[in-house]
A and B are shown apart, each in its own frame.
Chain A
Amino acid sequence: MAATLKDVAEQAGVSIATVSRVLNDPEKVAEQSRRKVLDAIDTLGYSSNLLAKSLRQDGLNAVYVLLPSLSDPFFAQMHQGISDVLSAYNYFMLSVTTEGDSVLEQECLLKAKTMGASGVLLYTPNDPVPEAWSAFGSSFPILLLSGNSVEGKARMTSLFMDRTGVGKQAVDILFERGKRNILYLCSRPDSLDGECWSGIQQAAEAHGLTCQLYQAGRSPGDAARELEKFWEKADVLPDSILTQSTAQAAGVLSFLRERGIQVPEQTAVMSFENTELACLLTPQVSVIGPAGYQVGMIGAKRLLEWIHTPEEKISCWQEGVDLTYIPRRSTDVRV
């Protein structure tokens, strides 16, 4: 039977509250009591050796990674980028998928605190992030890979990505190709991804175009189903569809192919995320937005620099997330 907190307290000859303090705020516990609790943890196998070791070493060389999903190609590549950097610098990586649920994200942050993690990398669609997260700043730095606003939050930073600008640029490109009626498929319009929508609206208004927002999950199946519903209601398809993810673009292309709609002549398709999937589809999908690997790699590198700065500066790499438009046949016949 697994040892409980009570077992540890009895073994160490201290109260449960003291055990709890050792786990959560070890610096507030006298060295003698701390040592007794840690020995009891080891004896009873209450927690992993890693945890005990981390508490002894005054911090674990581990980064907690919270991503909405690992099956989505964008986040899978992001995970790879994070993993490459962390392992190259001998950091452990503890990954959890959150589905973008802020409650689950908060629970994970609490666990990260208990574990004594060195830092947290988090991609969350929730914007702004809850005020309560500021409290975690005293335990570890948090870097938001999703580029959320972190103004006024201590030890929290964000990887800047100009989503509004990207939304505007996408519309400009479609306008140049003679498109006049734009549909944006987005899984959470009220979240961070709504920033793209803001850019889309601004550029559409400037060019005198029509644009509509329609909610669809990130998977190909969801995108195809929701597009079908949209078509049933609207009775006419727009001449261009912007998708939040390349997985959605896959669903859109499948839907259009089944109905014999020519891409890009009748309907152009463009994605706001850059994954390998975009190159594997027929036609290949044009993208304007970040590649998951680069977001993960740069985010992890910056977090490590932050953890080590100023005493131990890792490097002075100069880079940013690339948001260049990559034209392919889903918007440009001649590519």
Chain B
Amino acid sequence: MLECKMPAIVSLGVLNVDFVMEVGKDLIGKKRLGKRISISAGGYGGCQAVAAVRCGVPTAAVGRVGTDIFSYQIEKTLQEEQVDCQFLQETEGDNTGLSAIIAEEGKESVSIDFLGTNFQITKQDIDQCREAIQQAKLVMIYMGPAMMEASAHMVEVANQSRTPVLLTPTLFTGIQTGLWQKVDYLVMNLTQAADLCGLTEESVRTARIAAGMLSGQVRKAIVIHMDKGGVLVAENGILTTLDVMPESKVVDYSGATAFFTGVFGAELVKGNTIQKAAIKAHRAAMLCMEKVGTYASFPTAEQLKRL
């Protein structure tokens, strides 16, 4: 673990409890039998923070949970993972974020999100961790619909102290003009890249077009995690595809992009080059995809060291 009183990374993103339900094909009458169910802390913000900590980088999670039993589940998991929880806030009268993930063999998982208290994050919540943002070596922001305004504010606060910003946008509608110029690293998966281009096809080609569109606007690099197709790094106008893994077995994409982002951010903070960080993050994400679920699929700290 790096020695640092303040967190080296401040992570903003949704905090959920994930209900991962593996559905079987057996039927009893009209009822379908489930194979397994697991309940764990998740959400993009939580997952990327866990990934960064497992890489050995002190990381704080910023977010809001409810006062229900699920908030306990999130805090307990994050604390066990040694994620700094000093910036977690509670909101009464709303549910903690929940995500039902239905995983079925041979099909892409379906997620149903009940974001609850994640919608309650405000600019004031960001201001409360201003000092940590200003002293951090990186902020990782998952810019989802639940926290557009707070995310944009965190970018501003980070920019004031020149803290590098790593941003992952889920949607490209509602992004304010000039945001990209305030971002150092833009991380996406293929779905997000396709959305950016207005295309439906999720391919290396789509990733290149997305990177080409924003290249020169983002300060340092655009990194697109392309599953088996490797990882695309666009830096200084040059697009490079790294670490293609055509033989990988992918069973579930849940949590992989968040874990990718966390590892990528942590490796940058540790002083690695963008390319090295991207390759390690990609390999970690591919390990996530080999198993069903989010938290349960994450590689351990030991596995990450060997990558």
Contacts and interface: CB of A to CB of B under 8 A. Distances in A.
B206 interface: yes
Given A276-B238, A315-B198, A293 B206 contact: no
Contacts of A81: 208, 212
A329 to B, nearest CB: 14
A294 B199 contact: no
A35 B198 CA distance: 39
B205 interface: yes
A274 interface: yes
A80 B208 contact: yes
A107 interface: no
Interface in A274-307: 274-276, 278-279, 287, 290-291, 293-294, 297-298
B209 A274 contact: no
B212 A297 contact: yes
A322 interface: yes
B236 interface: yes
Given A274-B237, A274-B238, A326-B237, A294 B208 contact: no
Given A81-B212, A322-B215, A314 B198 contact: yes
Interface string A70-81: 000000000011
A291 B235 CA distance: 11
Interface centre among B208, B212, B217, B236 (most CB of A within 10 A): B212
Nearest to A81: B212
Contacts of B216: 294, 322, 324
A294 B239 CA distance: 10
A101 interface: no
B201 interface: yes
What band does the interface of chain A fall in when counting residues whose beta carbon is under 8 Å from B?
A: 20 to 34
A319 B213 contact: yes
Contacts of B239: 293
Contacts of B85: none
A322 B198 contact: no
Contacts of A279: 236, 238
Prevailing SS type, chain B contact patch: mixed
B248 interface: no
A294 B237 contact: yes
B209 A84 contact: yes
A88 B238 contact: no
A144 B197 CA distance: 23
Given A88-B201, A88-B209, A294 B236 contact: no
Nearest to A291: B237
B217 to A, nearest CB: 8
A270 to B, nearest CB: 14
A157 B66 CA distance: 57
A87 interface: yes
Interface centre among B206, B216, B237 (most CB of A within 10 A): B237
Contacts of B238: 274-276, 278-279, 291, 293
Interface in B179-212: 197-199, 201, 205-206, 208-209, 212
B170 to A, nearest CB: 19
A322 B205 contact: no
B111 interface: no
B128 interface: no
A324 B219 CA distance: 11
Contacts of B209: 84-85, 88, 297
Interface string A250-292: 0000000000000000000000001110110000000100110
Nearest to A279: B238
Ranked 7 nearest A-B pairs via Cβ: A322-B216, A291-B237, A297-B212, A315-B198, A84-B205, A326-B236, A274-B237
Interface of B: 197-199, 201, 205-206, 208-209, 212-217, 236-240
Given A81-B212, A291-B238, A326-B237, 18 more contacts: A80-B208, A84-B209, A84-B212, A88-B201, A88-B206, A278-B238, A279-B236, A293-B239, A297-B208, A314-B198, A315-B197, A317-B198, A319-B213, A319-B214, A322-B215, A322-B216, A324-B216, A326-B236
